[in-house]
Structure 1
Amino acid sequence: MATAQVPRGGTDAVAAPRLGAGPPPHPRRPADGMCDFAAVRKDFSLPAEFPTAALTEVEQTVAQPVFDGARVDATELPLVTVDPVGAKDLDQAVLLTRRGNGFRVEYAIADVAAYVRPGGVLDAEVRRRGQTLYLPDGNVPLHPTLLSEGAASLLPDQVRPAVLWTIDLDSDGLAVRTRVRRALVRSVAQLDYEGVQRALRAGLAHPSIALLPVIGRLRRAQALRRGAIELGLPEQQVEADESGGWRVALRPRLVVEEWNAEISLLTGMCAAEMMLEAGVGILRTVPDPEPPTVAALRRSAARLGVEWPEDLPPAEALAGIDPVRPEALAVHVAATRLLRGAGYTSFESAAPSKPRHAGIGAPYAHVTAPLRRLVDRYGAEVCLAVGEGRAVPAWVREALPALPSAMGSSDRVATQVERACLAQAQAWSLAGRVGSVFPATVLRTGSGDGEIFIPEPPVIARCSGDDLTEGQRIQVRLTRADPHRREVEFTKA
């Protein structure tokens, strides 16, 4: 399955964010002859294959890695991966242990730089792509699968080159010491979110992540203290149905995913701290909301009858508003305006004046998903150099100024592709139901129309009507469902 989200918070909250700690679940292959998303691929000119020269280069670097220098032998660490069912591009492997009154996080990240030659053909191609794109009928990978699902992936029982982060936490879950180095690692198990959650409930968690609930809860509490703005909105996904078609569904985010994401966030915050201290790097940034924006959101909540104490900051207020209620859901949708202006900020010689990520409540850098996101490879190289007290490699410094634009462009394409796939599936699902009436909740209002949420099938779409009110429960009639234009429209019934 491939996922497209309603704007929500999470590991990398922005105005239209995606899950930042891992890819959407891998798709179930539908039956032959069913509708696919070829038109979306064509409309956005998505690449189907890698250049032959890039594939040849991959074969050469797999046989003789670009970086073949000293590495710590960490193959004795019983690391495990935790990903969606069926995932093969495994970026991260983790081991959680107690250390005195605190904890130790061992976090191995795939060392993609070992296989991508700076300035080479593959390097140019991945810089053009920017990130892996996930569609319901298969992904468009950042790297050839020989790397992303093979030589560089942290597959179980395979010795792999990695960037190994060792982060010590105190009893409150705060980082007190960080170390990063190149290593050889070997994952001992490939776990999935659903299986981990079942095992934790049964008291049968894998020993390597038995502390995940403890550390996850501590880190979530720290996020509230930092003022991290988390939006709890429904996550729509497109999945293959039993008849060989596609349907839109809501996928609840498991609590184990949130805890696992906290490990990635922790590492990204430690990486950002290293970069800021050294005065060189690239951060993922979201500006703090302006006071008038917060005030407008408070007024929206008041109009909807949602309690928001005057002395409560947005992070704590939103954490206490359950979006299951229609009026509360509308508040969370309105809160997306708090997280506008997401981007990347690269710097050399001096730290940027505004380094924070408002969704996380701290400076933050992408370093934990290099198989799926271009910028992480560069961020890891900066941290390795800083940690070892040496100069950042010239190829990294030369690339830093252009990375914010490249990643910004890639993010826009990824968001547009997700929305197009979701819109396509919604139109397919509703094509035979024009004229039908559905219960709905008004999420946003405009001049003569608004945006509504229908729980079954879970659709978010435009609705015409002059008297729509945010948070209002209404009946709507489907007036248009055009799969060719990927458009769905309703009117108030």
Structure 2
Amino acid sequence: MNPRHLIAPKADPKAGADAGPLERAFETLREQLDLSLDYPQAALTEAEQAATAVPLPDRDETAVPFFTIDPFGSMDLDQAMCLERDGDGYRVRYAIADVPAYVSPGGQLDAETRRRGQTIYLPDVRVPLHPKVLSEDAVSLLPDQDRSAYVWDIRLSSLGETTSSEVYRARVRSTARLDYEHVQQQLDDGSAPGGLKLLREIGQLRVALEAKRGGANLPMPEQEISKAEDGSYHLTFRPQLPAEEWNAQISLLTGLAAAVFLVQAMVVILRTLPAPEQNAIVRLRRQAKALGVAWPGDQEYGDFIRGLDRSDPKHLALVHDATSLFRGAGYTPFDGQQPEETIQAAVAAPYAHVTAPLRRLVDRFGLVVCEAVSQGAPVPDWVRTALPTLPEIMRTTDQKASQAEHACTDAVEAALLVHRVGETFAAYVVDTDEKGLTVQLVDLAVTAKADGRAEAGAEVRVKLTEANIEEHRVRFDLV
């Protein structure tokens, strides 16, 4: 589920779930996970003062035609881009919201953001990392507003390979706030302006380079909760638009450039993911063979996964099984000595989070280090002091965000099905383990546990035996 795709202007009212029981369940969940919508007054006061008192950088790049691409209706805009041709290559300028300028190290706002760790999205509300006066106003890269930003200036070859990169603080002004659907439509019908057309061109080159490195993008089905105009909630499987992947490649490009600066500084926190264990790849190959899905012996696992079709139940079972390849993600800090693990296996290179400082704590620190290294300045002591504490903060808040997302999805599934207990449904078996089966319904965007025995990829019928909104639980029996 993309957490910022939360509002659907229209939906089929017959397919929706009543808001009342669900929103009570969401509220209870926030209490259980200690997710407060209210900011401590001292931290809020600091944010309000910073919103009006922080001066903009002297370097003025407001003439650069930056634009943002985000889910429809988003207000917390971390990134804006400007894409241009540069000889036979490309120039990517990527502006990132200057959160560090608005959060004083050691202050009350700093303390509260460290407690929160990241913005957590629920279907009815979002629990923000920063107060809205910053995240949706003074720091957000909203259109037609002068903002302070960290600007990444990255040059690419004709093949999309990075040839140089620099990062500096500057005053910027976004010229347009775009959403994925509109961008995809413009690219498809040929009406996209020149800078936007390059998104597809650069994005496709970067996808090819990722595949060449041995990276892998797992095409997991994306469950999306939306709220209709009548207040009811809906659950769908939303296919990722090509424009979303191309947009993500610009962010990945920046994260890869950031890792270079951070490793150079030897003061860094990398986002790491160990390479898949060989026995996990062998197990996935056995599963593919059992399901009758061809996997040539000389094809890398990333290329194989990239070609799977989520509409095919046998392929879908393999997508779920492939999650075993991507375990152990974490944040690896070092100061003065490079750690043993530096690679993020999904992108097959060292990688750092720096592109979402409004919504993720760790990015604020990475940005400061990168700019210091790029401009030949010393890394601030407050960054070095904070570095050892960040992995645990991000680990615990990642867990909390995952718990919130799964519980909300399960609650919506239960709300959609609460009046259908005892009915049978067509389904696919997408996973099997010691706890039973995981099935995906054919006609509803529901994935849940089922009791019984069947092979992964099998087409089955299941009977709904439980749908509990309060406990966020749905259960089926294999018929």
User: TM-score scaled to structure 2, two decimals?
Assistant: 0.95
Moved over 4 A (4+): 28-34
Query: Which stretch shows the higher mean deviation, 432-441 or 260-269?
Result: 432-441
Query: Which stretch shows the higher mean deviation, 348-357 or 417-426?
Result: 348-357
1: distance between equivalents of 2:316 and 2:48? 50
Is the counterpart of residue 231 in structure 1 residue 218 in structure 2? yes
3-state secondary structure, aligned to 1:72:
coil
Query: What is the one-letter code of the residue matched to 1:63?
Result: T
- CA deviation after TM superposition for structure 1 residue 350, in Å: 2.1
Correspondence for 1:13: none
Correspondence for 1:470: 456
1:436-461 alpha-carbon deviations (Å, 9 max, x no partner): 11111111113472111113211111
Q: How does 1:363-442 map to 2 (within 5 A)?
A: 363-442=350-429
2: distance between equivalents of 1:125 and 1:375? 14
Correspondence for 1:277: 264
Alignment coverage as a number of residue pairs = 470
1:187-230 alpha-carbon deviations (Å, 9 max, x no partner): 01111111111111121113332211100100010110111121
1:99–1:448 Cα change, 3 Å? closer
Is the counterpart of residue 27 in structure 1 residue 7 in structure 2? yes
Do 1:442 and 1:469's aligned partners in 2 also have CA atoms closer than 8 Å? yes
2: distance between equivalents of 1:215 and 1:438? 43
Superposition CA RMSD, Å: 1.6
2: distance between equivalents of 1:71 and 1:284? 32
1: distance between equivalents of 2:207 and 2:326? 19
3-state secondary structure, aligned to 1:168:
strand
5+ unaligned residues in a row in structure 1: which ranges?
5-18
Do 2:93 and 2:152's aligned partners in 1 also have CA atoms closer than 8 Å? yes
Is the counterpart of residue 208 in structure 1 residue 195 in structure 2? yes
3-state secondary structure, aligned to 1:230:
coil
For residue 177 of structure 1, the aligned residue among 164, 179, 189 is: 164
Is the counterpart of residue 50 in structure 1 residue 39 in structure 2? yes
1:115-168 alpha-carbon deviations (Å, 9 max, x no partner): 111100000000000000111101000000000000000011110000000000
1:448–1:211 Cα change, 3 Å? closer
Do 1:88 and 1:155's aligned partners in 2 also have CA atoms closer than 8 Å? yes
Q: How does 1:281-360 map to 2 (within 5 A)?
A: 281-360=268-347
1:26–1:89 Cα change, 3 Å? farther
Correspondence for 1:15: none
1:55-112 alpha-carbon deviations (Å, 9 max, x no partner): 11112212222xx485421111000011111000010010000001100001000000
2: distance between equivalents of 1:60 and 1:446? 53
Query: Which stretch shows the higher mean deviation, 211-220 or 310-319?
Result: 310-319
2: distance between equivalents of 1:315 and 1:453? 24
Correspondence for 2:52: 63
Q: Alignment identity in percent?
A: 47
1:342-368 alpha-carbon deviations (Å, 9 max, x no partner): 100011112222211111111110000
1: distance between equivalents of 2:181 and 2:443? 24
- CA deviation after TM superposition for structure 1 residue 34, in Å: 6.7
1:435–1:32 Cα change, 3 Å? closer
Q: How does 1:144-223 map to 2 (within 5 A)?
A: 144-223=131-210
Correspondence for 2:468: 482
Do 1:193 and 1:257's aligned partners in 2 also have CA atoms closer than 8 Å? yes
- CA deviation after TM superposition for structure 1 residue 238, in Å: 1.4
Do 1:27 and 1:137's aligned partners in 2 also have CA atoms closer than 8 Å? no
Do 1:217 and 1:259's aligned partners in 2 also have CA atoms closer than 8 Å? yes
- Structure with the higher helix share, 1 or 2: 2
Correspondence for 1:452: 439
- CA deviation after TM superposition for structure 1 residue 310, in Å: 1.3
1:435-486 alpha-carbon deviations (Å, 9 max, x no partner): 1111111111134721111132111111111x31111111111111111211
3-state secondary structure, aligned to 1:109:
strand
Correspondence for 1:491: 477
Do 2:141 and 2:173's aligned partners in 1 also have CA atoms closer than 8 Å? yes
Do 1:105 and 1:168's aligned partners in 2 also have CA atoms closer than 8 Å? yes
Query: What is the one-letter code of the residue matched to 2:83?
Result: L
